[in-house]
Amino acid sequence: MTLVERTVALRERCTSLSTLGDRIEEARKLGTRLAELRGVAENLPEILKTIDMLAKAGVAVQGSDSSVAQVCNAIAKIKTRFAEAREPDALTKGQDWKVLIRELPKVVADLDESAAEAWGTHAHHLFAGDAPTAVERTLAPTDANKAALVKYRQAHERYVRLRGRVPEGPEEVAELARVAQELKSVKFDYDVPASVRKFLEALPAGAPLALLTAEVRDWIDQRGLAIRYQVVVANR
């Protein structure tokens, strides 16, 4: 190989190395942009998956349109520029990339919040009854009401736990509906005379004999509960 030929070959190799170096630099820049995008939208795929799952279960999630519109507009412009010039600088040319990076986290946060709000609204539509403590204040402490209240309290605890976080799958959506139905099926006896309620509420501390009226005695006898009560002389 002559000196000229060796010189030409060396120049070609240098050109190839230079081109490879440019490609490596482009790949690095693209990797940087990709990492930047992932950093602001890391949770987006999972949130979109959850929203899709809720939609299939009949729970519609409505997000804000303002940030979404800006993001979609920025993405469209970036895609057009990159299609025309497939180089990293085409991504960040102008203000579109900055808009995308600024507004995309708002979209993610808004979708997350909207999903939680939609789930809470759905849960409220399924069951909007009072908390156990509020129900208890309205009840006469009969044996039936006490047993029903235990069942109600247990179901309500499960309902609150399910309502408090967006479900991870359709199984939890179905479970919330089942628990809500269980709560609605619990029946309490509100048809208790005021005199009976007053007597029952006084029992834990010892009910005065004056509270054992004829109405109270009839109520006790009708339910075959007389054997459960006895008169005790107070030491006072």
Residues 176 and 209 in one domain: no
Cβ atoms of 59 and 173 within 8 Å: the answer is yes
Average pLDDT over residues 28-39: 68
Residues 87 and 75 in one domain: yes
In a domain, 4, yes or no: no
Residues 64 and 117 in one domain: yes
What domain range includes position 231?
193-236
Residues 17 and 114 in one domain: yes
Residues 170 and 208 in one domain: no
Q: Which of 62-66, 123-127, 217-221, 230-234 has the highest mean pLDDT?
A: 123-127
In a domain, 1, yes or no: no
Residues 23 and 121 in one domain: yes
Q: Which two tokens stand for residue 20?
A: 């490879």
Residue written as token pair 């060796």: 6
Structural domain tally of the chain? 3
Better-predicted residue by pLDDT, 2 or 42: 42
Better-predicted residue by pLDDT, 116 or 39: 116
Query: With left for phi above 0 and alpha for psi between -120 and 50, is residue 94 left, alpha or beta?
Result: left
Query: With left for phi above 0 and alpha for psi between -120 and 50, is residue 119 left, alpha or beta?
Result: alpha
Q: Which two tokens stand for residue 200?
A: 């029952």
In a domain, 110, yes or no: yes
**Domain stop point among 171, 190, 209:** 190
In a domain, 94, yes or no: yes
pLDDT tens per residue across span 159-188: 999 999 999 999 999 999 999 999 999 999
Residues 174 and 207 in one domain: no
pLDDT of 24 strictly over 80: no
In a domain, 7, yes or no: no
In eight-state DSSP terms, residue 191 is -
pLDDT tens per residue across span 131-161: 999 999 888 998 899 999 999 999 999 999 9
Residues 175 and 201 in one domain: no
- What CA–CA distance (Å, rounded) separates 77 from 100? 11
Average pLDDT over residues 215-225: 73
pLDDT of 76 strictly over 90: no
In a domain, 210, yes or no: yes
Q: What is the pLDDT of residue 4?
A: 43
Residues 17 and 118 in one domain: yes
Q: How many CB atoms lie under 10 A from the CB of residue 51?
A: 20
pLDDT tens per residue across span 83-126: 777 776 767 677 777 777 787 788 888 888 889 999 999 999 99
pLDDT tier for residue 233 given thresholds of 50, 70 and 90 = low
In eight-state DSSP terms, residue 91 is H
In a domain, 209, yes or no: yes
In a domain, 5, yes or no: no
pLDDT tier for residue 10 given thresholds of 50, 70 and 90 = very low
pTM score = 0.69
